[in-house]
Amino acid sequence: MLNRLTALMILTFKEGVRDRALVGIGLFSLMLMGASLVVISLFMRELNKVAVDVNLSAITFAGLMMTFFVSINLMAKDMDKHTIYCVLSKPISRSEYIWGKFLGIMLLILAAFVILTGCSTLILLITKTFYSQWFVAFEWLPFYKAVYTELLMFAVLNAMVIFFSTITTSSFITLLFSLSIYIAGQTIEEVVLYLKTQPNIALSGFVETMIDICQYILPNLAVFDMKINAAHALPISWTYLACVTAYGLIYSSILLVSASLIFRKRELM
**What pLDDT sits at residue 150?**
94
Indicate the number of domains in the chain: 1
66 domain-assigned: yes
40 domain-assigned: yes
Residues 6+ apart with CB under 8 A from 207: none
**What pLDDT sits at residue 262?**
87
269 domain-assigned: no
Could you tell me the pTM of the whole model? 0.87
> Which residue segment(s) compose the domain that 61 sits in?
2-264
**What pLDDT sits at residue 113?**
93
What gap in Å lies between CA 255 and CA 163, rounded to an integer? 6
What gap in Å lies between CA 97 and CA 107, rounded to an integer? 15
Angle at which helices 140-167 and 171-197 cross, to 10°: 120
Residues 6+ apart with CB under 8 A from 238: none
**What pLDDT sits at residue 253?**
94
Tell me the pLDDT of the chain (269 aa) as tens digits: 667 778 888 888 888 888 777 888 888 888 888 777 777 767 667 777 888 888 898 899 989 998 988 888 887 777 666 666 676 667 778 788 889 889 999 999 999 999 999 989 998 888 888 777 777 778 889 999 999 999 999 999 999 999 998 887 778 888 888 888 888 888 877 776 766 676 666 666 666 677 777 777 888 888 998 988 888 888 889 999 999 999 999 999 999 999 988 888 776 65
252 domain-assigned: yes
112 domain-assigned: yes
> For the residues of the chain, what is the DSSP string, one character each?
-HHHHHHHHHHHHHHHHH-HHHHHHHHHHHHHHHHHHHHGGG-SS-HHHHHHHHHHHHHHHHHHHIIIIIIHHHHHHHHHS-HHHHHHTSS--HHHHHHHHHHHHHHHHHHHHHHHHHHHHHHHHHHHHHTGGG-SS--HHHHHHHHHHHHHHHHHHHHHHHHHHHH-S-HHHHHHHHHHHHHHHHHHHHHHHHHHH-TT----HHHHHHHHHHHHHS--GGGG--HHHHHTT----HHHHHHHHHHHHHHHHHHHHHHHHHHHTPPP-
148 domain-assigned: yes
253 domain-assigned: yes
38 domain-assigned: yes
